[in-house]
Chain A
Amino acid sequence: MNVLFGLVSAMVVGATPILLAAIGGTFTFYAGIFNIAMEGMMLVGAFCAVLGSFFLHSWFLGILCAVAGALIMAGIFVLFAVRLHTDEFLTGIALNLFAVGLTTFLLRDIFHVKGAFTDAGIRAIPAVKLPLIDGIPFLGRLLSGYNAIVYVALLVTVLSAFVIFRTRFGLRLRGAGYNAACLSSSGVPASTIRIWSLIVCAVCCGLAGAYLSLGYVRLFAENMSAGRGWISLTAVILVSGNPWGIAIISLLFGFFDGLTVFLQGSRIPTQFTAMIPYVATLVSLYLYSVRKRRQA
Chain B
Amino acid sequence: MRKQALSGILGVLAAFAIGALVLALQGFNPVATYGALLQYSLFSGSGFTATVTRAVPLILTGLSASIAFASGPVNLGQPGQLVMGALGATLVGLFVHLPSAFLVPLCILASLLGGALWSGLAALLKRAFAMDEFIVTLMLNFIADYFALWVITYPLFDPSASTPMTRPISTAAWLPDLGSVNTSVLFMVLAAVVCWLIMSRGRSGYEWRMTGQNSLFARIGGCKVNANYVRVMLVTGALAGLAGGLMIMGGPHRFVKGLGANYAWDGIMIAVVASNGISGTFLYGLLFSALQQGAIGMELVTAVPSEFIDVLQAVIVLVVVAGRVSLNMVFDRLATRRKLKESAG
With A234-B135, A281-B135: A109-B305 Cβ-Cβ less than 8 Å: yes
Q: Which of B123-170 contact A (CB under 8 A)?
A: 125, 129-132, 135-136, 138-140, 142-143, 146-147, 149-150, 153-154
- Among listed B40-48, B197-205, B213-221, B310-318, interface-contacting one: B310-318
B26–A109 CB distance below 8 A: yes
- Among listed B29-37, B227-235, B265-273, interface-contacting one: B265-273
Q: From A89, which residue of chain B is reached at the shortest CB distance?
A: B74
Q: Which of A69-115 contact B (CB under 8 A)?
A: 76, 80, 84-87, 89-91, 93-98, 100-102, 104-105, 107-109
Interface 0/1 of B300-342, CB less than 8 Å to A: 0000010111111111011001100110000000000000000
Answer yes or no: A146 CB below 8 A from chain B CBs: no
Q: Which residues of chain A are near B74, meaning CB under 8 Å?
A: 89
- Among listed A5-13, A60-68, A147-155, A268-276, interface-contacting one: A268-276
Cβ contact of A76, chosen from B308, B318, B325, cutoff 8 A: B318
Q: Which of A218-255 contact B (CB under 8 A)?
A: 226-227, 230, 233-234, 237
B136–A282 CB distance below 8 A: yes
A93–B272 CB distance below 8 A: yes
A94–B318 CB distance below 8 A: yes
> In whole angstroms, how far apart are the Cα atoms of A76 and B319 in the complex?
11
Q: Which of B92-150 contact A (CB under 8 A)?
A: 125, 129-132, 135-136, 138-140, 142-143, 146-147, 149-150
Answer yes or no: A286 CB below 8 A from chain B CBs: yes
Answer yes or no: A278 CB below 8 A from chain B CBs: yes
Answer yes or no: A166 CB below 8 A from chain B CBs: no
B143–A278 CB distance below 8 A: yes
B326–A272 CB distance below 8 A: no
> In whole angstroms, how far apart are the Cα atoms of A107 and B308 in the complex?
11
Q: Which residues of chain B are near A293, meaning CB under 8 Å?
A: 130
Q: Which residues of chain B are near A282, meaning CB under 8 Å?
A: 125, 131, 136, 139-140
Q: Which residues of chain A are near B321, meaning CB under 8 Å?
A: 80, 86-87, 90-91, 94
A274–B131 CB distance below 8 A: no
Cβ contact of A286, chosen from B129, B143, B150, B272, cutoff 8 A: B129
B310–A101 CB distance below 8 A: yes
With A84-B325, A98-B318, A104-B307: A289-B149 Cβ-Cβ less than 8 Å: no
Cβ contact of B307, chosen from A89, A108, A237, A290, cutoff 8 A: A108
A275–B147 CB distance below 8 A: yes
13 CB contacts below 8 A, A to B, read A76-B318, A84-B325, A85-B325, A94-B272, A98-B315, A100-B310, A101-B310, A102-B311, A108-B305, A227-B139, A237-B132, A271-B150, A286-B131
Report, nearest first, the 8 A-B pairs whose CB atoms are least far apart. Answer: A101-B310, A98-B314, A271-B150, A105-B307, A108-B305, A94-B317, A278-B142, A278-B139
